[in-house]
């Protein structure tokens, strides 16, 4: 059973054919029983009919060709050269062509300006690490060890008659 | 989105400027009618229609097919018309005074409920609505857009559209009451009871 308030909310939908058929049936069943809503619905419908009697506004004769001419001119003038260039570049076929051309140019530039790669000479950097200058001065053996690391075993002069353990 | 619209949008994105012209030809009358019903003069409606298509031309390369082109176009049209309407609100008021329209019941309906005069009265009653109500009302009554689409055009909830439409119709019913009875008697169009349509 529909209430008058719900019926009034539904009236506009039904009158402007926005309501589904089942909602329309429910409203009509209510209108059969309710004289007040029936009168209101009739008034609503007359208003909708009256509003729809208004003809579609039509422009004066010869308007559209002039409209199109003006629009085409404005579209052509619209935006800067930069904007038009951006738009042109956004076109898929242009953007793909530009991407491929850019890649080819990048490769050519890379090959042209890159000479043979020079062989790098490794530079031995002195081992310092966490051993500070003060530690090296305080503990002479640390200094000796570091010298050994830096120069490698070939830099150590071992006496000919050297015997491990001094025996 | 409508298949034809989608094809035209894709063609435009592919560089075919004629696709844009085709879109303009397809939608120019609807755009003009919406603007014309929301604004007071042909010149203003024409300006708005031009501006709509200029904006569409700028934004179309970035347009995504997730939404309807028609809804998007109508949204631009309604927004521009609302802006124009807000700027020219003084003109609208003076226009109504020039029409001499007052929604009083002692006005003789017999003298006005015919032809152009009746049209002017209806137009004046519609013009007296707040702009958003006017926009929603005309999208529903004259463009036959469903509530959901009106909601998308207006950028609000469907329930808001229904409530606003109801308020607008209540005002129009009150404003046009002196002419409604006469119009029904002359029987220019249709039914007087919604039940008749179902029988």
Greatest extent of chain B over all pairs of C-alpha atoms, in Å: 63
| B146 phi/psi in degrees, rounded to 5 | -70, 160
Decide if pLDDT at A93 tops 60.
yes
Dist. CA B45–CA B35, nearest whole Å: 5
A92–B14: do the CB atoms touch at under 8 Å?
yes
Q: Which residues of B touch A56 (CB under 8 A)?
A: 33, 142
Task: Report helix angle B3-13 to B17-38, nearest 10.
Answer: 120
Q: For an interface test with B, which of A6, A18, A88 has the most B Cβ atoms less than 10 Å from its Cβ?
A: A18
Distance from CA of A91 to the nearest CA of B (A): 5
Handedness of CA A16, A22, A25, A31 (dihedral sign): negative
Residue from A34, A40, A53, A36 nearest A11 by CA: A40
- Going by C-alpha positions, the residue among A14, A24, A159 that lies closest to residue B147 is A14
Span A24-72, pLDDT tens digits: 888 888 999 899 998 888 888 888 888 888 888 889 999 999 999 999 9
pLDDT band at B194 (very low <50, low <70, confident <90, very high): very low
A103 CA to chain B: closest CA distance, Å?
22
Nearest CA in chain A to B166: A12
CB atoms within 10 A of CB B80: 22
- The answer to whether A27 and A14 are in contact (CB under 8 A) is yes
**Whether pLDDT at B142 is above 70:** yes
Give yes or no for A6 touching B (CB within 8 A). no
Of the partner residues B126, B144, B180, the one whose CB lies closest to the CB of residue A46: B180
- Coil, strand, or helix at residue B16? coil
CB contact A9 to B (< 8 Å): yes
Number of A:B CB contacts under 8 A?
A: 135
Q: At B56, is the pLDDT very low, low, confident or very high (cuts 50, 70, 90)?
A: very high
Nearest by CB: A75 against B57, B189, B193: B57
B87 CB-near residues (< 8 Å, 6+ apart): none
Using DSSP's 3-state secondary structure scheme, residue A160 falls into: coil
CB atoms within 10 A of CB A3: 11
What pLDDT, on the 0 to 100 scale, is given for residue B13? 86
Residues from chain A contacting residue B24 (CB–CB below 8 Å) = 68, 71
What does the alpha-carbon distance between residue B184 and residue B181 come to, in Å, rounded to a whole number?
A: 5
Is A50 in the B-facing interface, judged by CB distances under 8 Å?
Answer: yes
For B37, counting Cβ atoms within 10 Å of its Cβ (0-12 exposed, 13-18 middle, 19+ buried), the class is buried
Q: How far apart are CA A86 and CA A89, in angstroms?
A: 5
Which helix (H) or strand (E) element contains residue A96? helix A92-113
Comparing B125-134, B137-146, B183-192, which segment has the lowest mean pLDDT? B183-192
**A46-59 tens-digit pLDDT:** 888 888 888 888 89
**Out of A117-126, B59-68, B104-113, B186-195, least confident range:** B186-195
Q: What per-residue confidence (pLDDT) applies to B155?
A: 92
Radius of gyration of chain B (CA): 19
Supply B124's token pair: 């004046």
Q: List C-alpha distances in Å: B184 to B28, B102, B114, B147, B177.
A: 34, 21, 12, 28, 11
Q: Does residue B178 contact residue B105 with C-beta atoms inside 8 Å?
A: yes
> In chain A, which residues have their Cβ closer than 8 Å to the Cβ of B52?
none
Mention every residue, 6+ apart, whose C-beta is less than 8 A from residue A48: A15, A16, B141, B169
Q: What whole-number distance in Å separates Cα of residue A75 and Cα of residue B124?
A: 35
* CB < 8 Å to B188, chain A: 53
Q: Are B186 and B113 in contact (CB under 8 A)?
A: yes
- Would you mind telling me the total number of residues written for chain B in this entry? 199
Q: What is the pLDDT of residue A160?
A: 66
CA distances from A110 to A96, A97, A99, A105, A117 (A): 21, 20, 16, 8, 13
Q: Mutate one of B12, B173, B194 to test the A interface: name it (highest A CB count within 10 A).
A: B194
Does A87 sit within 8 Å of B61, measured CB to CB? Answer: yes
Residue of A20 and A58 predicted with greater confidence: A58
**Which of B57, B123, B172 is closest, CB to CB, to A78?**
B57
Angle at B158 between CA B153 and CA B160, to 5 degrees: 95
Q: What is the ipTM of this complex?
A: 0.74
Q: pLDDT for B97-119, tens place per residue?
A: 333 333 344 455 454 445 677 88
Percent of chain B with pLDDT over 90: 38
Residue entry with tokens 């919406």: B34
Do B46 and A63 lie within an 8 Å CB cutoff? yes
Sort out which chain A residues have CB atoms less than 8 A from B169's CB and list them.
12, 44, 47-48
**With bands split at pLDDT 50, 70 and 90, how would you rate the model's confidence at B188?**
very low
Query: Among A26-35, A107-116, B88-97, which stretch is predicted with the lowest mean pLDDT?
Result: B88-97
Query: In this complex, do B162 and A9 lie within 8 Å of one another by their Cβ atoms?
Result: yes
Confidence of residue A11 (pLDDT cuts 50, 70, 90): confident
Spatial contact of B17 and A84, defined as CB atoms under 8 Å apart: no
**Which residue in chain A is spatially nearest to B185 when comparing CA positions?**
A46
Residue of B nearest to A49 (CA): B189
């Amino acid at each position: 059973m529909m209430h008058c308030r719900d019926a009034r909310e539904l009236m506009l939908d039904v009158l402007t054919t926005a309501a589904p058929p089942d909602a329309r049936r429910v409203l009509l069943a209510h209108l059969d029983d309710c004289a007040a809503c029936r009168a209101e619905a009739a008034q609503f419908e007359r208003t909708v009919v009256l509003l729809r009697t208004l003809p579609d506004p039509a422009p004066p004769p010869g308007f559209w060709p002039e409209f199109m001419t003006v629009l085409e001119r404005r579209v052509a003038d619209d935006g800067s050269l930069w904007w038009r260039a951006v738009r042109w570049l956004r076109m898929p076929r242009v953007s793909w062509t530009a991407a491929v051309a850019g890649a080819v140019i990048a490769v050519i530039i890379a090959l042209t300006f890159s000479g043979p790669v020079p062989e790098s000479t490794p530079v031995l950097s002195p081992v310092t690490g966490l051993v500070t200058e003060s530690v090296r001065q305080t503990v002479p053996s640390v200094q000796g060890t570091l010298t050994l690391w830096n120069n490698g075993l070939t830099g150590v002069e071992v006496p000919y008659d050297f015997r491990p353990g001094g025996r | 989105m409508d298949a034809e619209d989608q094809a035209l949008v894709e063609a435009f994105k592919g560089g075919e400027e004629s696709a844009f012209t085709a879109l303009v030809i397809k939608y120019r009358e609807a755009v003009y009618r919406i603007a014309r019903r929301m604004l007071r003069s042909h010149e203003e409606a024409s300006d708005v229609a031009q501006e709509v298509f200029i904006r569409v031309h700028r934004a179309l390369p970035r347009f995504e097919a997730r939404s309807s082109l028609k809804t998007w176009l109508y949204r631009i049209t309604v927004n521009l018309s609302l802006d124009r309407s807000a700027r020219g609100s003084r003109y609208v008021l003076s226009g109504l005074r020039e029409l001499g329209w007052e929604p009083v019941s002692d006005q003789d309906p017999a003298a006005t409920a015919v032809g152009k005069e009746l049209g002017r009265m209806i137009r004046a009653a519609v013009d007296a609505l707040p702009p958003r109500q006017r926009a929603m009302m005309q999208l529903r009554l004259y463009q036959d857009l469903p509530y959901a689409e009106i909601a998308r055009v207006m950028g609000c909830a469907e329930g808001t559209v229904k409530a606003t439409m109801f308020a607008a119709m209540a005002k129009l019913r009150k404003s046009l009451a002196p002419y409604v009875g006469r119009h029904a008697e002359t029987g220019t169009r249709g039914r007087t009871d919604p039940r008749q349509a179902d029988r």
